[in-house]
A and B are shown apart, each in its own frame.
Chain A
């Protein structure tokens, strides 16, 4: 009796008694809201000048030539340009870009090539390029050594080593703002089969242009984020800059061909990002600098800023359908970093 009185006097019961509005206390079940957790509308990729779907595969091999000593030379031209981009439908962000796109051009060379990057700064602040790779201090892209003022140029030159999935980004100060505003891009060095005789087959399958490589579906995914209200936290997370780009327009995967993802994390403000694949597991090559995998059967891999790697998996034994992939920081997934593989 006492318990009944106590429970009937509790706040909720009194609220109901006081109101007795008869409002249906049932809230719609979650299933009705499936598909409602997304940004509304679609981004004008033409207006942006780049398309996240194109960035998946637009490897830039540069201007190839042969030096007098027989070395292959790859020349690229990168410019820092201030450009306002649309990162989610109707949401604009004032970005600093390499060549008007975020991420910047994907530079793809072969191990041992001589890489020459002519960098011109058309932006409003001093910028430079810092490559993740092996090079001399003079080519390191540090303030004081290789800082390029607006209107000036600088020529970066170094040998492409080691092979792997790397990146480049601005290293001007304040570093977080220069990185976060969009000055980054992928820098991939394919292994040379001649230099890796023990795993020449694997190396060949990674060499852009080889027959073995053509069999693979290779995708570049740069995980990034945007802080639109300057509170030092990201409000938008994405792969290749556009929130929900691959959930609104899934990536088509051919079951008969294996998939290789070059995954790079350049998200600012959050210590780590991650990639989780649904219904399947992958091999992971940390930094892509090895020809045998770092992890052989995982479905979630974590990367801190600047970390990157190569994921290899196949849907050969899977039924056709849509397979989701997303960050397993659910907050990132809910704020734009979600996609689908449309396997057929």
Chain B
């Protein structure tokens, strides 16, 4: 009975709102007063192949948008649009332009709509977009292993050394891990916000990162507080591995997208920089395990979880990068890492001394935070992507 009443009473506000909405549309109250719609056209991705360009565009305008003409380097060029026709708000299309681009040179695209709005997109360095092929999949996988898995594993070799450290040494290393993770958190947040800027503003710009981040943090937090798994080093290490793995997927995404858009400064510098960067992550990964009995296959699992995600990251980034999905992904990563920081903090408190709040901001801890963040920052200087 009660639920029936709930439903029928519930219809009242819904029905009233619907009627109001329909009435306003029918009366067309504001339409004649509205200024011309100023639209936004986002270029989400440009594929460069031997015959020209294929640009994926998304329209965001109150009125449907019609792409009238397309210019490449200030010259009108023949293009085709699929699907053809006008683009309503949120619609996407692929614009194919046959154009003899010049390798390694810059080219400017300009889309002209039927009302004369122009939207520009610059291809900084024209090089063929990596095509999906067995060979390139393998090459990217190799790159991901070199950049992600191996450095993390190398960092994990510091385990015996860490084990030999005393209690204070351990406190330092755990704080180093926290510093490291906070660095990753901040780095991912800003990277995510930058990517979100490239997405169509239909999706809410910065909210694409912030909302998923907060939701992930809360979801993971509630999951961990309701689970009865006891706090032990292995669990913490696993959480750290997941957090680092998410970050490395994001790194892979950025590397892969850079290959696809040819904005990357590549080569030895890239690999060397990421190696040092991720070695530090490997150290932080094994820090919680020093007081435990650990089986070797745990190490293997941790290394894979933390390091391997760079591989699928590069694949996704190179073959199908879309800024809005990347931004959401970064937001999730940020939330996950934030939650890991909370976990470590809790672990340290319980591990050391539940009574003492001093540990969190002791001199050793603070120097650990600084060392962790500083080391990450220093090694990041070597990477220019």
Contacts and interface: CB of A to CB of B under 8 A. Distances in A.
A112 to B, nearest CB: 44
A18 B114 contact: no
B137 to A, nearest CB: 10
B112 interface: yes
B19 interface: no
Interface stretch (B8-16, B126-134, B291-299, B332-340): B126-134
A91 B114 CA distance: 4
A35 B76 CA distance: 11
A127 B189 CA distance: 56
A11 B75 contact: no
Interface stretch (B99-107, B172-180, B361-369): B99-107
Interface in B61-101: 66, 68-71, 74-79, 98-101
Contacts of A30: 100
B71, B116, B266, B267: most-surrounded residue (chain A CB, <10 A): B116
A30 B77 CA distance: 13
A40 B78 contact: yes
Interface in A128-149: none
Contact of A335 (B71, B98, B268): B71
Contacts of A91: 68-69, 112, 114, 116
Interface of A: 9, 11-12, 14-15, 18-30, 32-33, 35-40, 88-93, 228-229, 231, 235, 243-244, 331, 334-336
A243 B135 contact: no
Contacts of B135: 20-22
A15 B139 CA distance: 12
Contact of B143 (A18, A36, A331): A18
B131 A23 contact: yes
Contacts of B136: 19, 21-23
B329 interface: no
A77 to B, nearest CB: 31
Given A21-B130, A24-B50, 20 more contacts: A11-B265, A18-B270, A18-B271, A21-B133, A23-B128, A33-B100, A36-B78, A36-B99, A37-B77, A88-B76, A88-B112, A91-B68, A91-B114, A228-B116, A229-B117, A243-B76, A331-B75, A334-B75, A335-B74, A336-B76
A88 B363 CA distance: 71
Contacts of A19: 130, 136, 139, 259
Contacts of B66: 90
Contacts of B349: none
B75 A92 contact: no
B372 to A, nearest CB: 30
Contacts of B122: none
A253 B143 CA distance: 64
9 contacts: A14-B267, A18-B271, A28-B100, A39-B69, A39-B76, A89-B69, A90-B69, A91-B68, A228-B116
A34 B204 CA distance: 42
B41 to A, nearest CB: 12
Given A88-B76, A229-B118, A331-B74, A25 B103 contact: yes
A9, A21, A36, A243: most-surrounded residue (chain B CB, <10 A): A21
B115 A92 contact: yes
A244 B77 CA distance: 12
Nearest to A27: B50
A156 B63 CA distance: 44
A38 B50 contact: no
Contacts of A331: 74-75
A339 to B, nearest CB: 14
B51 interface: yes
B112 A228 contact: yes
A191 B69 CA distance: 43
A295 B268 CA distance: 63
A22 B133 CA distance: 9
Interface string B38-74: 0000000000001100000000000000101111001
A126 B70 CA distance: 35
A14 B76 contact: no
B50 A88 contact: no
B100 A29 contact: yes
Nearest to B97: A36
Contacts of A244: 76
Contacts of B118: 228-229, 231, 235
